Amino acid sequence: MPEKKKILIVEDDQFLHKILVMKVKAEGLQVISAYDGESALKKVKEIPDLILLDLILPQMSGFEFLGEIKMDSQLKNIPVIVLSNLGQDEDIERAKSLGAQDYLIKANFSIDDVIKKAKEWLVRKK
């Protein structure tokens, strides 16, 4: 039986975090959870297949987290989907220049859209 794909969810909003975890698990995927950038940096060592990343986080921002993992040869190729309320062009450009593959503005996407996008990236990664 193939190993379940793992998604690291980095989101400090408790409610949204819980819903994302539920939806991802319902898709038959494994979840690694982090509520802040520092714990995400520890948990990313489990080498997830995809990272869903908020940018406004306690301890270490999503931008800083992205910068850190993209400098690590073992982690730099993990696809990252940013899920943020920051919708300014410069925020989107900054995240993409730091290595984010995709950028979803929370207000513009439903949870189901986010899960669908995550699954598309998992398929591409094969």
Q: What is the pLDDT along the chain (126 residues), one digit of tens a residue?
A: 567 899 999 999 999 999 999 999 999 999 999 999 999 999 999 999 999 999 999 999 999 999 999 999 999 999 999 999 999 999 999 999 999 999 999 999 999 999 999 999 999 865
In whole angstroms, how far apart are CA 66 and each of 20, 26, 45, 105? 20, 27, 14, 17
pLDDT at residue 74 in the model: 95
The pLDDT of residue 11: 97
Give the model's pLDDT for residue 1: 53
CA distance 112 to 60: 27
- The closest of 61, 95, 60 to 80, measured between CA atoms, is 95
Tell me how far the alpha carbon of residue 33 is from its chain's centroid.
10
The answer to whether the pTM exceeds 0.85 is: yes
In the numeric block, which tokens belong to residue 45? 């060592």
Predicted pLDDT at 126: 58
| pLDDT at residue 2, as a whole number | 64
